[in-house]
Amino acid sequence: MTLPFAIIAGLTVGSAVAAMSLRNMVHCALSLVLTFAGLAGLYLQLNAEFVGLTQILVYVGAVSILIVFAILLTRSTEPKDEPSTVTPWVGISVAVGAFLTMALAVLASPVGKRIAAPAPEVSVKTLGQKLMTDYVLPLEVMALLLTAAMLGAVIIAMREKEGK
């Protein structure tokens, strides 16, 4: 465990805990963004530049905005002073149980034993080539969906103006 990893992991876990426990919803959202950024840092540390930067672009840049807008548009951001009525112990025990199950499954699986094998150097080019050859159908379906959504947005915007 290297020092940068420790810092990033601590930041990620700490901000995730803060995202759960802070009372102010916007603070929670900002902490969650910090978690996203920490995850991106972990990806970068694993030499997955493309995934890490996409994580920043999509999660820090776009999803976070979506979250804060959702919070601002739906409810008051003022923290309420009322004490939490639900005791947290049930939730904690469920979370620990789930985590233990997953950890045991991961440890028992052969994934952990391949640590010594050198990680393949995945370049953006290979990613692109894979997407364009092996995974072309999912890519095209996604592209169609997104383009349709975008064109739909443009058409809705144009209709509204003409209707006036």
Partner 1 sequence: MAELFAKLDALPVTLKHLLLGLLPGATPEWLVAVVSAVLSITPILAVFPLMFALTTVIERKGLGRIQNRIGPNRVGIPLTDIRLFGFGQFIADGIKSLIKEDVVPRAADKVVHFLAPIALLIPVLLTYSVLPFGKNMVPLDLPQTGLLFFFAVGASTELSVFMAGWSSRNKYSLLGAMRAIAQMVSYEIPLILSALTVVMIAGTLSLPGIVESQTELKFGFLYTWHLFTPWGLVGFFLFLTAAAAEANRTPFDLPEAESEIIAGYFTEYSGFKFAIFFLAEYLGLFAMCGLGITLFLGGWLPPVKLAPFTWVPSWCWFLGKLSALIVLFIWLRGTLPRLRTDQLMGFAWKFLLPMTLINLVVAALWHLSANSIPLVARWPLCFAMLAIPYWLLGRGFEAKFTKREYRFAN
- Between CA 48 and CA 41 the distance in angstroms is 10
61 binds partner 1 (CB under 8 A): yes
Q: Could you tell me the two tokens for 73?
A: 């548009």
CA 161 to chain centre: 36
57 binds partner 1 (CB under 8 A): yes
69 binds partner 1 (CB under 8 A): yes
Which class for 32: exposed (0-12), middle (13-18), buried (19 or more C-beta within 10 A)? buried
- Between CA 98 and CA 73 the distance in angstroms is 33
46 binds partner 1 (CB under 8 A): no
- Between CA 12 and CA 33 the distance in angstroms is 10
Which of these ranges, 8-16, 49-57, 86-94, 131-139, lies near partner 1 under the rule CB under 8 A? 49-57
70 binds partner 1 (CB under 8 A): no
Site for partner 1 in 80-119 (CB under 8 A): none
26 binds partner 1 (CB under 8 A): yes
In the complex, which residues of this chain contact partner 1 (CB under 8 A)? 24, 26-27, 30, 33, 37, 49-50, 53-54, 56-57, 60-62, 64-65, 68-69, 72, 77, 123-124, 150, 153-154, 157-158, 161
